Amino acid sequence: MMHAGSPVLLSKLLARLGLFAVAIAAAALAGCASMDRDDRGEVPLNGKILSEMSEKGMTPEDPIMIRIYKQESEMEVWKRTTRGTYALLKTYPMCRWSGKLGPKTREGDRQAPEGFYSVSRAQLNPRSQYYLSFNLGYPNELESALGYTGSALMVHGACTSAGCYAMTNDGVQEIYALAREALRGGQESFQVQALPFRMTPANFAAHRNDPNMAFWRNLQEGTEYFDLTRKPPVVTACAGRYRFSPQASPADAALAPLGACPADPDSVEMAQRIQQRQIAETAQMVAVAAANPAVAAPYVDGGMHPTFREVLRRSGPEKLAALTSGKIPVSQPTAALADPYGGPATTTQ
């Protein structure tokens, strides 16, 4: 039996106290680390957007879909409602995109991509150098088959672009949170439709001589599919173009992006409806074209939403950067002021 004052017991007590002190120190360090943790990717949705969702029959966990319009410098977030179809939740002004209208085809061309993309949780970046971001997944399967090159094409914060879509820090914070909550709610991935402009007869008429017209008509098939059903289409590729269908099929796995497109009875009715819409819109386009010259704007490296361009014009790039980007400068401010597209005020009809 050992007495309280025995050397052996005293040694054991001191050892235990030493371990306890180490545990306290470790906890203190952990506490400091948590205080310094970068949690910008976990900022909750604010009350205003939650209220807007509720009014439209949406919850934070419901799936989303995103549409990007270069010419108008706008981004739309659509969300599934209690009716099972998607409705527009909010439109965000875009601070900066680079390049010109048309798809991205090679690394270093400064082109912001156009096409259909799928974004999963793994593509979210909560520690982006541009505040928050998500990777579009360029090149997608079709683009890779066509030999297009490039990487790390993002939707991110700030007001600078070298092939990405810059939404400002405040804008991307909300967009990122909407994507995060939808993915946590069970959506495996959300669709991004990156488009040259709103697919109106007036815009097609204005750009009727552009060499990308066939590609844009293919994109329009997918956007009209969504407009008719209010559900994102399943996107595959064959014959060097996008293919749209109402639901996934086991046969999709056998499709080759540059191979022949198989007959798809399930899509015949939808294809006919889309064709009828395009015929009617083409008639409108011809009427508009007769009264308006085609656009042949000079290349000036991308665009900027008019709300941001007005700040840039009045107060300069440093002020715009302070409002949108923190310490990251606005890219190509002179080109942004010369944006030939004019934004939504002159193109949306």
123: DSSP letter: G
Q: Is-contact 326 130, C-beta < 8 A? A: no
Quick count: other Cβ atoms within 10 Å of Cβ 325? 23
Residue in this structure with the two tokens 């180490």, named with its chain if needed: 22
Q: What residue has token string 């001589």?
A: 209
| 238 among known catalytic residues | no
95, 156, 159, 238: which is the annotated catalytic residue?
156
- Quick one: CA torsion of 237, 208, 90, 140, rounded to 10 degrees? 20
Q: How far apart are the first and last CA of the chain?
A: 95
CA distances from 346 to 67, 73, 297, 337 (A): 19, 12, 14, 16
Q: Which residues have a Cβ under 8 Å from the Cβ of 283 and sit 6 or more positions away?
A: none
**Total residues found in the chain within this entry:** 349
Residue 145 neighbours by CB distance under 10 Å: 16
For residue 315, the tally of other CB atoms under 10 A from its CB is 12
**If we measure between CA atoms, which residue out of 269, 201, 267, 261 comes closest to residue 237?**
261
Q: Is 164 a catalytic residue?
A: yes
Q: Which of 95, 159, 164, 238 is catalytic?
A: 164
Supply φ then ψ for residue 91, to 5 degrees. -110, 130
d(CA 197, CA 211): 15
Please give the positions annotated as active site.
156, 164
